[in-house]
Amino acid sequence: MSVAAVPANASTPSASAETRQTASCNEWIRAVGVPGRWQTLSDDCGHFGRPGLKMGYSWAAERGRPCIKVQGFVGGRAKWYNAGCGATGRITVKWGDVLAAKKIKVKGASLFKWK
């Protein structure tokens, strides 16, 4: 089940249609980037926020140098942050008071894992 961003105190999250990933919420997720277009990936886990919370993302490529954007939230609204391109990387973004799945956008031929 995919979880769209909702206030953490809301009772019913709505579903979203991003690419589905299957893994434990704390494990690395294996993924493939394709050249020439952005694709959105989700960890399909509900991450509970609170005012002032920041969320970390990491990636490590086995092949290629993917370009990565990650989703965070400002004032309850989704915001995409440019995490850059490279074989490895980390970024911490504003999350705030929402319940949502972590999402990344990836572009570039690559085999990588992320969390």
Q: Report yes or no on 1 lying in a domain.
A: no
Q: What is the pLDDT of residue 3?
A: 44
Domain count within the chain: 1
Spatial strand order in the sheet of 77-85: 39-42, 103-107, 67-74, 77-85
44-83 pLDDT per residue, tens: 999 999 999 999 999 999 999 999 999 999 999 999 999 9
Domain that includes residue 57, residue range = 6-114
Domain with 22 in it: what CATH number? 2.60.120
Q: Report yes or no on 48 lying in a domain.
A: yes
Q: Report yes or no on 30 lying in a domain.
A: yes
Q: What is the pLDDT of residue 16?
A: 39
84-107 pLDDT per residue, tens: 999 999 999 999 999 999 999 999
Per-residue confidence band for 21, with pLDDT thresholds at 50, 70 and 90: very low
pTM: 0.78
Q: Report yes or no on 88 lying in a domain.
A: yes
Q: Report the mean per-residue pLDDT for the chain.
A: 86
